[in-house]
Structures are given as C-alpha cells and as structure tokens.
C-alpha cells in the first residue's frame, strides 16, 4: 500500500512550480543577490498579511527571536518567561542574549501559555515574556497582555508555527511588541531553505532590528552597534512571495483536515480549540497513553507520524545546568510521553487522511 508521508514538501513546490521557478529566475537574472526589491516587496506584503505596520526579514526564526530580545534591550541579569513545552529555539534565544529562561507550565487543555502561571512567575528581574502559538493554536493573548502591561514587561510572540492563525478574529502578527516568524521549509509558510521575519507595530523596534540584522549599520560602513549578518535571502523572499498568495487557501485545507480528524478519531485524545481561536494547524497533535506502540504500528502500515517534542528543553543536555530537575514540569514531561503528531498538510488528500483515521481508530483502541 502507498505510504502516507508526514508532510510532502515537494508537493508544495510542484503545486506552484512554474511561478516559483519564474520568481527565482528573476532574482538570478537581476544581478542583485543581497537585500533588494524581492526582500522589500515580501516584507511589505507579509506586514499587510499580518496586519502589522512593519516586517523585517531575517535569516531564520531563531534569529528573529534573538534580534527581538536584543532590540528590547534584554541581556545578562534579565529573566525571560518561556513555556516549559516548546521547541528549544524559544529558550535558546533567551540564552543567546545572556538572559535566563524562566519556564512556566502551560494550560492543560490548550497546551499554550497560562496567564495565571505567568502572573505568578514575574519577578523584578523579568524583562520579557515569550508566548508561543504552539502547533498553530493562538495563545490566549488578551489576558497575557493584561499581565505583561500591568508589570511593564515586553511580550514577544513566537509565531513560528502560526502563519494565518487568528485570535478573536484578528490575525496573529501585531498583538505583542514583536512577533517572530520562521519560514523553515516545513512551516505553514515555508521557504526552500532557512528564512525568518519579525512583524511589529513598534517603529523603534523595527528600526533597531533592521539595523541589528545588517551589521548594526543603517548607512553602509557606518556601524552604530555590534550587529550580526542575519538578512533574508532574496531568493527565499521570492519563493515566499509566491507562496504567500496561496497561504490562506493552504490554511483552509489544513483546517478542513483538522475538522475531519476531530470528527472521526475515536480512540485518541484530540486537540481542544477554544471558541476564540482559529488555529493554523501547523501540527495536528493527539494523545495516547501507549504513544510509542501506536507510532510503531502506524509505521508498520506505512503511516508516518512525528513527536513534537520528545524531550522538553529543561531535560536536554543543552540545559543540564538550568537547575530544573526531572519532575518539575509534569505537564511538559507528560506531553513528551503521550503526544503524537498525525500527518497534515495542504496537499494531503482526504483519501490518505481516511487511511490514517481508519488505522488510528483500529490500532489505538486495541493497544
Ligand atoms: C521552527 C521554530 C523556531 C525556529 O525557527 P528556525 O527558522 O528553524 O530557526 C522557533 N520556535 C518555534 C516554536 C518553532 O517551531
């Protein structure tokens, strides 16, 4: 039987091949290979898409987070509150600027930041909060913003999985001080290599980040501060510009698949969607107490699944010295043991999905 891939990246290219090839060829032919019109056009279009005043293209999502923290003045001695359950990049950005990641447990149903836990974790050293829109589900931004505003700390949104998601009817992209995007190929808006961006309504942050990403320089060979080289590649910007035109359609295809899964799956715990959330469904994550056995039996039927994420950041060797022992974050640790991401993507056929549904229902109930 034909295998069901977790995500068919090549199908995403083939669907738009002629337009992507033409856009890339135009950059090749232009003789201009750093910054330039493709980058500016994509930045302008993505800002409009997100409902943000500014978009600054950068090299990847991790740099988007690092440069946002730097632009906000976060550094050594500062604390930044992060989720206990996230991709490690959220924590790495905090460590990269010399600040300390302070982790809090998520809301048990939404898996996203819990405003009550956030309020309790703020100290005089807290400079910023990074809320992650995990799996493409928007975090509960209004109560989170109420906490950050009351304590006068910045809110950064890690939107690497949330392109096109809406919170109370408004697109993710400008609620917090800075919103950080990854265009890693597997993301909902994916380049054909590494790419990222920051969107923001704050002109001061936009100017600072665009200076930092380019050697700390606004005027060539005049360096105001010690910046980095983290520019959005124009070839990637050209690809992203083509794909952006199809993002809403592709998000709707994901939403249809998510609705079909949630209606049909009977023997696994399916995602809870609050009524104010319209997720982008970067991932469709179910839970089952015999997760590993379920994953293996699905694989034996040719169905690929993934685990996001098998080891929470505080238990990684990279954070061996962070002071968080095993057991301190039971929710994050439990998710690592029982969560399974099922195949989902804009090119996935409903026939393939029906095979996944049939296999999960049949196997999960007997394990
Ligand atoms: C992908 C991802 C990142 C990092 O993005 P890169 O472009 O790979 O650097 C950060 N945070 C989250 C939640 C992600 O999923």
Q: What is the pLDDT of residues 185-233, one digit of tens each?
A: 999 999 999 999 999 999 999 999 999 999 999 999 999 999 999 999 9
Average pLDDT of span 293-317: 98
Any bridge partners for residue 341, and if so which? Answer: 285, 306
pLDDT at 1 over 90: no
% pLDDT > 70, the chain: 100
Whether 184 and 37 map to the same domain: the answer is yes
- The atom of ligand 1 lying closest to the CA of 134 is 13
Query: What mean pLDDT value characterizes the chain?
Result: 97
pLDDT at 60 over 90: yes
State the pairing for strand pair 178-182/154-158.
Answer: parallel
Average pLDDT of span 275-294: 98
Whether 202 and 255 map to the same domain: the answer is no
pLDDT at 38 over 80: yes
Whether 202 and 93 map to the same domain: the answer is yes
Q: What is the pLDDT of residues 67-90, one digit of tens each?
A: 999 999 999 999 999 999 999 999
Boundary-marking domain end, from 244, 274, 298: 244
Whether 104 and 46 map to the same domain: the answer is yes
Grade residue 238 by pLDDT with cuts at 50, 70 and 90.
very high
Whether 184 and 203 map to the same domain: the answer is yes
Domain that holds residue 71: 9-244
Whether 238 and 315 map to the same domain: the answer is no
Question: Which residue's CA lies nearest to atom 7 of ligand 1?
Answer: 61
Q: How far is the CA of 170 from the centre of ligand 1 (A)?
A: 22
Average pLDDT of span 139-152: 98
**Residues with C-beta less than 6 Å from any ligand 1 atom:** 60-62, 86-87, 89-90, 132, 158, 160-161, 182, 184, 194, 196
Check residue 343 and give its pLDDT.
Answer: 98
Q: How far is the CA of 160 from the centre of ligand 1 (A)?
A: 5
Whether 232 and 101 map to the same domain: the answer is yes
Whether 313 and 341 map to the same domain: the answer is yes
pLDDT at 2 over 90: no
Q: How far is the CA of 63 from the centre of ligand 1 (A)?
A: 9
What is the 3-class SS of 61-96, one letter each residue?
HHHHHHHHHHHCCCCCCCEEEEECCCCCHHHHHHHH
This prediction's pTM: 0.98
Count of structural domains, the chain: 2
HSE, side-chain direction, 13 A CA sphere, residue 346: 22
Q: How far is the CA of 258 from the centre of ligand 1 (A)?
A: 22
Place of tokens 């994050």: 332
Instruction: Flag whether 1 is in a domain.
Output: no
CATH number for the domain harbouring residue 360: 3.90.1150.10
Whether 166 and 73 map to the same domain: the answer is yes
Question: Which residue's CA lies nearest to atom 5 of ligand 1?
Answer: 61
Boundary-marking domain end, from 210, 244, 278: 244
Grade residue 341 by pLDDT with cuts at 50, 70 and 90.
very high
Whether 184 and 293 map to the same domain: the answer is no
Boundary-marking domain end, from 218, 244, 270: 244
């Amino acid at each position: 039987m034909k295998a069901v891939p977790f995500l068919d990246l090549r199908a995403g290219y083939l669907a738009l091949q002629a337009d992507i090839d033409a856009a890339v060829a135009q950059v090749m032919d232009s003789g201009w290979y750093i910054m330039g019109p493709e980058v500016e056009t994509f930045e302008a279009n993505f800002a409009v898409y997100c409902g943000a005043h500014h978009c600054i293209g950068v090299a990847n999502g991790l740099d988007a987070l690092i440069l946002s923290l730097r632009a906000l003045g976060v550094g050594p001695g500062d604390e930044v509150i992060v989720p206990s359950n996230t991709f490690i990049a959220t924590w790495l950005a905090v460590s990269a600027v010399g600040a300390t990641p302070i982790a809090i447990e998520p809301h048990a149903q939404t898996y996203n930041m819990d405003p009550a836990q956030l309020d309790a974790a703020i100290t005089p050293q807290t400079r910023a909060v990074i809320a992650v829109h995990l799996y493409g589900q928007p975090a509960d931004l209004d109560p989170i913003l109420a906490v950050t505003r009351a304590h006068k700390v910045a809110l950064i949104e890690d939107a690497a999985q949330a392109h096109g998601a809406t919170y109370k009817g408004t697109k993710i992209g400008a609620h917090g001080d800075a919103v950080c995007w990854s265009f890693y190929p597997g993301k909902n808006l994916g380049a054909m290599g590494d790419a990222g961006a920051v969107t923001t309504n704050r002109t001061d942050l936009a100017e600072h980040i665009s200076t930092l990403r380019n050697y700390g320089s606004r005027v060539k060979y005049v360096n105001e501060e010690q910046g980095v080289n983290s520019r959005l590649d124009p070839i990637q910007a050209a690809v992203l510009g083509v794909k952006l035109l199809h993002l809403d359609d592709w998000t709707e295809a994901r939403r249809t698949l998510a609705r079909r899964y949630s209606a049909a799956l009977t023997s696994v715990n399916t995602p809870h969607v609050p009524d104010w959330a319209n997720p982008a469904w970067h991932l469709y994550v179910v839970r089952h107490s015999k997760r590993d056995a379920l994953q293996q039996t699905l694989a034996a039927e040719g169905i690929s699944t993934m685990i996001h994420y098998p080891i929470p950041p505080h238990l990684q060797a990279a954070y061996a010295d962070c002071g968080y022992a095993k057991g301190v974050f039971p929710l994050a640790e439990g998710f690592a043991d029982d969560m399974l991401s099922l195949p989902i993507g804009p090119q996935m056929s409903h026939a393939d999905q029906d095979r996944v549904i049939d296999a999960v229902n049949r196997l999960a109930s007997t394990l």
